[in-house]
Structure 1
Amino acid sequence: MSSALRVLLTDRAWPDAEIEKKILGAARAELVEATATDEATLIGLAKDVDAIATNWAHVTEAVIRSAPRCRIVARLGIGIDNIAVSTATELGIPVTNCPDYCVSEVSDHALGLLLACARQIGFFHLRTKRGEYDLSAAGPMRRLSGQTVGLVGLGNTARELVPKLRALGLTVLSHTRSGADYGTGCRMVSLKELCEQSDYISIHAPLVPETRHLFNAERLRWMKPTAYLINTSRGGLIDPAALWEALQKNVIAGAALDVFEPEPPDLNDPLYQDERVIVTPHAAFVSQESLDQMRTQAMNQVVQALRGERPDNLVNPTYQA
């Protein structure tokens, strides 16, 4: 390969790009880091690169069309809602992701949020740090064993979460668009049944046009007033205005959110200031091991494409190498 190959890294959520530089350097490719993630900046940089790798920045139709040499758009992550996949497919550009790099971490985080809701850990922490030492300040709590968790979606993360939940004595229900249980043995129910029967709902669905604001005012009303909603998937799966209204009217007991719409959110919003809402800063995917795996996997896919090979983990299946 020519030493003139250039790879654009639009953004990163880790301190340096040494892993990326090492892998690309071995393939005689240069890493170019964007100085900003606005569309105009990315369009300007994309004109002269052979590959685009993106973490959270939006690789729009305009960005892709401005990159005539581009051989791949590689997502440093799982979800692909920030990439114009249809445009890439039209132009014969493969799009890849890293579908399993943080399965353990996100399933652990979802479980941690569930336990924090069940034991009122976030509530007690805030009150106690403010000087209020009162175990009766929270509402009634129930023994975890015997309660029901509803999983919306059964992707890799949700499937890893299932045995962790069962180990705690929880009953697990699920809803998928296909109705498939993917070998988990979960009882499959409609979304309405899941909402009506679950004490905790954990969302593990992709964000696509059909699932945007999946949890709107109507579906929140299906939930038990004692139930909690947990989201470690994508912020756009929940209508934040509807969630705030549901909390104000005590339609549900609380929520635990690692993802937001928009991202980052305005933390002064009353929704995120409410004691019944636990918030973490899109941190579920993070561990040293998961980041190293993701970065290595994504860069190896870039190198495959630069070599003219069919890259691993294609997300546009109609792409023809």
Structure 2
Amino acid sequence: MSNYKVLMTDTIFPDMEIERAELATIGAELTLASGSDPKTLAREGKDCDAMIVVYAPITAEVVNSLTKCKVMVRTGIGFNNIDLEAASRKGIMVANVPDYCQDEVADHAMALFLSGVRKVAFLNNRVKSGSWDVNEAKPIPRLRGKLFGLFGLGSIGQRVAERAKAFGMDVCSYDPYMPQEVFDKLGVKRFHDFDEFLASVDFLSIHAPLTEETKHIINLQNLKKMKRTAFIVNTSRGPLVSEGDVYIALKEGIIAGAGLDVLENEPPAYPFPLAELDNIILTPHAAFYSEESEPELRRKAAQEVVRTLKDGRPKYWVNKKMMEDLGTA
């Protein structure tokens, strides 16, 4: 008989062997939910000791049905698909895996940026359609000396800063929560005013968490503050960007281009207006992936469950302060 029951709410992986191997070290049994809808998760997770969550929405309905659950681990960096307030009130710890795929996302952000600004994807499509004319791609800016802006200077943003500097660009950031010593160490110029930041940058890469404060922060009003030659990249969370407003900005030449790895709704409903534009590059939430990062993510998510059930708390406890404030920690 197993010591613990762990429910995996959903999966994008080919099996659960990595997770099972980690959980076996404490005699925990892992099962995959038969569906990722709230009613199914509420029913099948009722007596679980822990949950491993990928993309399934963990609503208050799900949380309030749980009678034994001690921890929910989001298999990824973001945790906006889990109702943190409901979990905190219930006394359930929420954890994530923030220390994986940092190089992969930084590489992907630069790949989107370079492919878009250098018009690589556009020219590739033109050559394949029978055209051999660099003039179709003009204008293409020189990168050296341009100002590369980072909205968010966390671990991934810092890696992007290093890569942008290697191309001879000056780097700046808007991040009101990051200590000044991080800016100083990286040689990144700090902006304290968001409007001034947007108006100054030549290129913008987004590396911020999704919160009520940041949702749709890249909207038409803010896009109009940017240079008409600006190019934006989002490898963070889709709802940080208003897709409808970006479509208008790209269509009307308010900004020059965009590269998006994440969308408000994934996958998008087709026909998809953004996909019709030549000045945008779209990838299917792929920035996290490499042959090495996927097993690392799965292993670390399972290890957070093991750590919590064995030692009483996860390493990356997302809602710790919220639970302390509520007196449920």
- Which TM-score band (shorter chain)? over 0.9
Match of 2:278 among 275, 279, 282: 275
Match of 2:199 among 196, 210, 213: 196
Q: Please tell me whether the aligned partners of residues 10 and 57 of structure 1 are also in contact (alpha carbons under 8 angstroms).
A: yes
**CA distance in structure 2 between the aligned counterparts of 1:135 and 1:41, rounded to whole angstroms:** 55
Calculate the aligned-residue CA RMSD, in Å: 1.5
**CA distance in structure 2 between the aligned counterparts of 1:180 and 1:220, rounded to whole angstroms:** 27
Give 1:48 deviation, angstroms.
2.7
**CA distance in structure 1 between the aligned counterparts of 2:314 and 2:250, rounded to whole angstroms:** 45
**CA distance in structure 2 between the aligned counterparts of 1:125 and 1:317, rounded to whole angstroms:** 49
Give 1:4 deviation, angstroms.
4.9
Q: Which residue type is aligned with residue 288 of structure 2?
A: F
**CA distance in structure 1 between the aligned counterparts of 2:157 and 2:11, rounded to whole angstroms:** 25
> Is the alpha carbon distance of 1:179 and 1:102 closer, same or farther for their aligned partners in structure 2, counting shifts above 3 Å?
closer
Aligned equivalent of 1:212: 215
**CA distance in structure 2 between the aligned counterparts of 1:294 and 1:110, rounded to whole angstroms:** 19
Q: Please tell me whether the aligned partners of residues 180 and 188 of structure 1 are also in contact (alpha carbons under 8 angstroms).
A: no
Give 1:54 deviation, angstroms.
0.6
- Secondary structure class of the residue paired with 1:13: coil
Q: Deviations over 1:205-262 (max 9, x none)?
A: 1000111100111101011111111000001001111111111211011110000011
Higher mean alpha-carbon deviation, 9-18 vs 252-261, is at 9-18
Q: Which residue type is aligned with residue 72 of structure 2?
A: V
**CA distance in structure 1 between the aligned counterparts of 2:37 and 2:132, rounded to whole angstroms:** 47
Give 1:179 deviation, angstroms.
6.3
Q: Which residue type is aligned with residue 259 of structure 2?
A: A
Higher mean alpha-carbon deviation, 202-211 vs 9-18, is at 9-18
**CA distance in structure 1 between the aligned counterparts of 2:11 and 2:232, rounded to whole angstroms:** 29
**CA distance in structure 2 between the aligned counterparts of 1:317 and 1:42, rounded to whole angstroms:** 24
- Secondary structure class of the residue paired with 2:5: strand
Higher mean alpha-carbon deviation, 193-202 vs 174-183, is at 174-183
Aligned equivalent of 1:255: 258
The runs of at least 4 aligned residues of structure 1 exceeding 6 Å deviation read none
Aligned equivalent of 1:139: 138
Q: Which residue type is aligned with residue 154 of structure 2?
A: G
**CA distance in structure 1 between the aligned counterparts of 2:309 and 2:175, rounded to whole angstroms:** 37
Match of 1:221 among 203, 224, 227: 224
Q: Please tell me whether the aligned partners of residues 105 and 288 of structure 2 are also in contact (alpha carbons under 8 angstroms).
A: yes
Q: Deviations over 1:93-119 (max 9, x none)?
A: 111111110111101111111111221
**CA distance in structure 2 between the aligned counterparts of 1:178 and 1:128, rounded to whole angstroms:** 45
Q: Which residue type is aligned with residue 233 of structure 1?
A: S
**CA distance in structure 2 between the aligned counterparts of 1:30 and 1:209, rounded to whole angstroms:** 36
**1:186 partnered with 2:185:** no
Aligned equivalent of 1:42: 41
Give 1:178 deviation, angstroms.
3.1
TM-score using structure 1 length: 0.95
Structure with a larger share of its residues in helix: 2
Length, aligned pairs only: 320
**CA distance in structure 2 between the aligned counterparts of 1:218 and 1:311, rounded to whole angstroms:** 40
Q: Which residue type is aligned with residue 264 of structure 2?
A: E
**CA distance in structure 1 between the aligned counterparts of 2:41 and 2:77, rounded to whole angstroms:** 21
Q: Which residue type is aligned with residue 208 of structure 2?
A: A
Higher mean alpha-carbon deviation, 145-154 vs 262-271, is at 262-271
Give 1:133 deviation, angstroms.
2.3
Q: Which residue type is aligned with residue 131 of structure 2?
A: E
**1:52 partnered with 2:51:** yes
**CA distance in structure 1 between the aligned counterparts of 2:69 and 2:175, rounded to whole angstroms:** 35
Aligned equivalent of 1:284: 287
What does 1:65-80 align with in structure 2 at a 5 Å threshold? 65-80=64-79
